[in-house]
Amino acid sequence: MKVVGARIPRYDGVAHVTGRTTYVDDVRIPGTLWVKALRSPHHHARIQKMDTRPAEDMAGVHAVITHADVPLLEYGHLSALGIPADEPLLALDEVRYKGQPIAVVAAKDEETAAEAVSRIDIEFEELPALTDVRQAFDTDAPQIHREGNWYTHFEDEMDHRQIRKGDIDWAFEHADTIVQGVYRPAAIEHAPLETQTCQVVPEPSGRLTIYSCTQALYFSMGVVAAHLQVPLSKLKFVGGTTGGGFGGKVDTATETMCALLAQKSGRPVKWRWTREEEFLCSSTRAPWHMEIADAVTADGWILGRKMLTLHDAGAYSRFSPYGLTKHSFHHTGAYTIPNLEFDGYVVYTNRVPTTAMRGFGVTSVSFAAEMHMSRIADVLGVDPIEIRLKNANRIGDTSPNGIVYTDPSTVSTIQTIAEAIGNELKAEYRTMTNAPRSEEWLPEHLVAQLGNPEEH
Amino acid sequence: MAKHTGRGIAAIEYPTGMNQNGDPSQAWIKVKPDGRIDVFAGTADIGNGSKTIQTQIVAETIGVPYDWVTYDNSNTDSSPLCTGTFASRATFVAGNAALKAAQQVKQKLLEIAGKELEINPADLEIVDGEVVAKGAPQTKMSVGDVAGAATFVHGELITGTGAQLKPYSAIIDSETGRVDTPPHSAISYATCAAEVEVDDETGEVRVLRLQQCYDVGRAINPTQVEGQIEGGAMMGLGLGVLENCYPYYPDVEHRGGAFGSYLAPSMEDMPQIDTILIENPSADGPYGAKGIGEMANNPQPPAIAAAVHDAVGVWITELPITPERVLRALETKESGGAEPRREGKKVVFDEELSVNAVSAGGMRFEVPG
């Protein structure tokens, strides 16, 4: 190997550090119009009346679009996977989060566009909002989404994601101790240096060139083509260089609206979100609510896990059903737990929709499962490193959804860190490998369940 | 009033590629008349370094120097589909597409060289930009001359295409969540030890050191993968002790609309970070690589939370671990209220946060035993 494994300088590193990389905001097209959005000032409201004519009549305004201008108003981020769409590109008759776009204006400059937005005549009737996922199921909770307060389209139209493995009652019956805890990581921002930015140029050929900061050129092109109801040949996405994404720029936040404004005005248009818009109106990492109860033996074997997850999706589903499913597949972390009962819900709230972010679906459960593991060790008075090695997944163990692990490195990464921090492991833990479990390593009541990988 | 230090540990795993797969990436390559290589792929580089990684994979696979390869991901007219740069998939999934395209190019170069040198292509290899007869290194021809011969003598364009797709892994039983095939391209593993200092007067948590070990399968570029791991560690530190969109969650008011009112980690917060790489190759990743881009911010929050407990004896299970939360927990502990409820064999923490305490009865978390 000469090139693979070498510490080669970054391909685009010099351009980045000398300020010569061309980001979308660096593209200059003569005659460009600037875009601003009318956004919901309320967490939840019905739109009673809207008149965009005062904006359209302003000098310097070239196009205003609302829901009525979108050929396909709702196209879900996961429509391609058969998950139904629930979010209009521009609000129809209801807004479900503060900052939701209702209309967008293209004008000769940003000031004119902002002034035009302020002249749109709109009236709302405020509706009760829901922000605590734990109250979504209450009988007196306001219904905030047309389909109810949680997503209902998992396989076989189940209203939650479910994992079942082994015999959970057996595990809790045979446990010496049951440890319960609740884990709640916060919503955080992607906080990219480059805010959502898009430039669209209508070409003489009738095509649209879309300069985009998307993390996924073809995915975003598919979203725009679906909303516009045009074949992919009508669009050309230009990009491939993103000024910070972390998952937030998988959302196609600006491209479709800019494409529609370019079509309507016949002029190039550009939309560059302000820092405030990026913070307040772009999607966030989801806050999660997780409850874990583990059935454990006095010497630290985890026999079973019962878990409830409420995934705070915000106002619309976006990627949340995907994120929750991924979460469920990994809810035992780096360990093998033979008996499982997991129930997870994608719950709607009146906040900006949450979306993918680095570690999507799993960052939450890594926190919950690992903190719970530390607590179990503390409650039982066993070593926090040894309890992890003991329960670590090994070759031949199976995942929560029945897949055999082939190359787990839990044991070796833990041993490496134990050595790095100067923790002297007992001989049996020092010599442990990721090789399949042998019966002498298992407590009697787990032999039947873990001793023979073929049987579980 | 004093500063207390503590240490915590966390071990994690994370999948490479989209959950349940079905996420294709494609690449194509053409060769210029002087043997220089043009790669076209639709993989956005979001700072993850995929341009470099795919370029390295192509150079290695064909057998030419790195700087012979140009990589173009600039537009959808010339570049084929990539599902996108997310799900820790760029190195593995898009990298495999580039690898397959490069293998085709290499094969065609060997075929043309075979004609020129009148040697069976199977007896030729490419080393440092030269096609060489195996066992007879004096018999050779530069890749540039091969490409020139292809263009001007044989009338051929040397190209290669590659596509990587693991078919969708369906859930075959909605009751149990069982799937029919592995729902990922690979799984990576990591362990993190965090050392913190907690000030019991101000409640402030300072992360002093993060020692981390990652199984990366194969480090295509050690500098870049270390960069991912260290950058991710800072993001995990932010999650653990600093960042929050909604300071009064679940209330949504008082959001910060500027960097000045949102606590993202800065250089000042950066602890000592020690990174140890393990290479346990994946069976079908490019050169054994696994994707670790996302998991890099996963182990720090629980390791930090455990370290805070080790330092001052309180469990903070709502993130971020702010000074206010630490002080409130210390206050509760001092008044004797921090102990979990023990009932039979049950040890119950955080009851006040449970749906059982907050919901008016619509949802319950019932635990047997």
8 Å CB contact of B52 and A8? yes
For B43-59, how does the pLDDT look when each residue is reduced to its tens digit (9 = 90+)?
A: 999 999 999 999 999 99
Provide DSSP, A296-347.
Answer: E-TTS-EEEEEEEEEEEEESS-TTHHHHHHHHHHTTTTTB--SEEEEEEEEE
Provide DSSP, A56-105.
Answer: HTSTTEEEEE-GGG-SS-B--TTGGGTPPP--BSS-SSEE-STT-EEEEE
- For B123-141, b/e burial (b = at least 16 CB within 10 A) is ebbbeebbbbbeeeeeebb
A356 and A227 both lie in a single domain: no
C-alpha span between B259 and A427 (Å, rounded): 50
Burial of A383 (0-12, 13-18, 19+ CB in 10 A): middle
Burial of A188 (0-12, 13-18, 19+ CB in 10 A): buried
For A86-126, how does the pLDDT look when each residue is reduced to its tens digit (9 = 90+)?
A: 999 999 999 999 999 999 999 999 999 999 999 999 999 99
Q: What is the pLDDT of residue A449?
A: 61
List the structure tokens of B45: 């580089």
pLDDT(B239) > 70: yes
Smallest Cα–Cα separation from A315: which of A66, A39, A52, A122? A39
pLDDT(A264) > 90: yes
List residues bridging with A36 in a β-sheet.
A105
A111 and A179 both lie in a single domain: no
Distance from CA of B336 to the nearest CA of A (A): 17
Confidence grade of residue B182 (pLDDT, cut at 50, 70, 90):
very high
Least confident of A277-286, B25-34, B331-340: B331-340
Smallest Cα–Cα separation from A145: which of A287, A323, A353, A308? A353
8 Å CB contact of B179 and A403? yes
Last residue of a domain, one of A249, A281, A313: A281
* Fold of the B3-15+184-338 domain: Aldehyde Oxidoreductase; domain 4 (3.30.365)
C-alpha span between B115 and B319 (Å, rounded): 66
> Is residue A135 assigned to a domain?
no
Note the pTM of the prediction, 2 decimals.
0.97
> Is residue A332 assigned to a domain?
yes
Residue among A132, A356, A371 minimizing CB distance to B86 = A356
8 Å CB contact of A218 and B83? yes
* CA-based torsion, A146, A147, A149, A154: positive or negative: negative
Residue among B46, B350, B363 minimizing CB distance to A245 = B46
pLDDT(A448) > 90: no
> Is residue A15 assigned to a domain?
no
A206 and A194 both lie in a single domain: yes
Residue among A3, A216, A322 minimizing CB distance to B56 = A3
A338 and A257 both lie in a single domain: no
8 Å CB contact of B340 and A402? no
Confirm if B328 and B263 have CB atoms less than 8 A apart. no
Q: What is the pLDDT of residue B152?
A: 98
List the structure tokens of A260: 């529609």
Helix (H) or strand (E) holding A269: strand A269-272
Last residue of a domain, one of A281, A314, A339: A281
Average pLDDT, chain A: 95
Longest CA span, chain B: 89
Residue extent(s) of CATH 3.30.365.10 domains in chain B: 3-15+184-338, 21-164
List the structure tokens of A14: 């010099």
A356 and A450 both lie in a single domain: yes
> Is residue A201 assigned to a domain?
yes
Sequence-separated (6 or more) residues with CB below 8 Å from residue B136: none
Helix (H) or strand (E) holding A219: helix A217-228
pLDDT(A233) > 70: yes
The pLDDT of B191-219, averaged and rounded, is: 98
For A357-412, how does the pLDDT look when each residue is reduced to its tens digit (9 = 90+)?
A: 999 999 999 999 999 999 999 999 999 999 999 999 999 999 999 999 999 999 99
Distance from CA of A177 to the nearest CA of B (A): 5
A184 and A197 both lie in a single domain: no
Distance from CA of B243 to the nearest CA of A (A): 6
> Is residue A11 assigned to a domain?
no
Measure the CA angle with vertex A181, ends A177 and A183; round to 5°: 155
For A56-70, how does the pLDDT look when each residue is reduced to its tens digit (9 = 90+)?
A: 999 999 999 999 999
Count how many Cα atoms sit within 13 Å of the Cα of residue A9 in the half-sphere of its side chain: 7
C-alpha span between A392 and A386 (Å, rounded): 10
Catalytic residues of B, by residue number, are: 294
- Indicate the SS3 state at residue B54: helix
Q: What is the CATH number of domain B21-164?
A: 3.30.365.10
Helix (H) or strand (E) holding A444: helix A444-450
Instruction: Determine the residue of chain B that is closest to A286 in CA distance.
Output: B245
Q: Which chain B positions have a beta carbon within 8 Å of A9's beta carbon?
A: 52, 223
- For A324-357, b/e burial (b = at least 16 CB within 10 A) is bbbbbbbbbbbbbbbbbbbbbbbbbbbbbbbbbb
For B265-318, how does the pLDDT look when each residue is reduced to its tens digit (9 = 90+)?
A: 999 999 999 999 999 999 999 999 999 999 999 999 999 999 999 999 999 999
> Is residue A439 assigned to a domain?
yes
pLDDT(A453) > 60: no
Backbone phi, then psi, for A313, in 5-degree steps?
A: -80, -15
Helix (H) or strand (E) holding B97: helix B95-117
- For A209-225, b/e burial (b = at least 16 CB within 10 A) is bbbbbbbbbbbbbbbbb
Amino acid letter at A456?
A: H
Sequence-separated (6 or more) residues with CB below 8 Å from residue B105: B29, B31, B37, B62, B158, B159, B160
For B11-43, how does the pLDDT look when each residue is reduced to its tens digit (9 = 90+)?
A: 999 999 999 999 999 999 999 999 999 999 999
Q: Interface pTM (ipTM) of the complex?
A: 0.97
C-alpha span between A156 and B238 (Å, rounded): 39
A179 and A40 both lie in a single domain: no
Question: What total of structural domains would you count in chain A?
Answer: 2
- Compute the radius of gyration of chain A from its Cα atoms: 26
Distance, first Cα to last Cα, chain B: 41
The pLDDT of A307-320, averaged and rounded, is: 97
C-alpha span between A315 and A319 (Å, rounded): 12
Confirm if A44 and A127 have CB atoms less than 8 A apart. yes
A220 and A307 both lie in a single domain: no
Pairing of strands A269-272, A33-39: parallel
A36 and A115 both lie in a single domain: yes
Confirm if B286 and B103 have CB atoms less than 8 A apart. no
Last residue of a domain, one of A281, A310, A333: A281
DSSP H helical ranges for A350-443? 363-380, 384-391, 410-420, 427-430
- For A392-401, b/e burial (b = at least 16 CB within 10 A) is bbbbbbbbbb
Sheet with B124-127, edge to edge strand ranges: B124-127, B130-133, B136-142
Amino acid letter at A178?
A: I
C-alpha span between A438 and A416 (Å, rounded): 22
User: Rounded to whole angstroms, what are the CA distances from A184 to A17, A168, A284, B174?
Assistant: 38, 24, 15, 27
pLDDT(B224) > 90: yes
Which residue range forms the structural domain that includes residue A317? 155-188+284-455
Q: If phi over 0 gives left and psi between -120 and 50 gives alpha, with beta otherwise, what is residue A37?
A: beta
Q: Which chain A positions have a beta carbon within 8 Å of B275's beta carbon?
A: none
A206 and A171 both lie in a single domain: no
Distance from CA of B78 to the nearest CA of A (A): 10
pLDDT(A452) > 60: no
Average pLDDT, chain B: 97
Q: If phi over 0 gives left and psi between -120 and 50 gives alpha, with beta otherwise, what is residue B293?
A: alpha
8 Å CB contact of A5 and B219? yes
Q: Which chain B positions have a beta carbon within 8 Å of A140's beta carbon?
A: 360
Smallest Cα–Cα separation from B278: which of B287, B267, B286, B289? B289
A362 and A217 both lie in a single domain: no
Pairing of strands B25-31, B159-164: antiparallel
Q: Which chain A positions have a beta carbon within 8 Å of B214's beta carbon?
A: 413
Q: What is the pLDDT of residue A409?
A: 97
List residues bridging with A308 in a β-sheet.
A291, A343
Residue among A133, A368, A388 minimizing CB distance to B11 = A388
**Residues in chain A, overall count:** 456
Q: Which chain A positions have a beta carbon within 8 Å of B349's beta carbon?
A: 179-182, 375
Q: Give the CATH number, domain containing residue A324.
A: 3.30.365.10
C-alpha span between B48 and A16 (Å, rounded): 13
Q: What is the pLDDT of residue A19?
A: 95
Cis bond before residue B320 (omega within 30° of 0):
yes
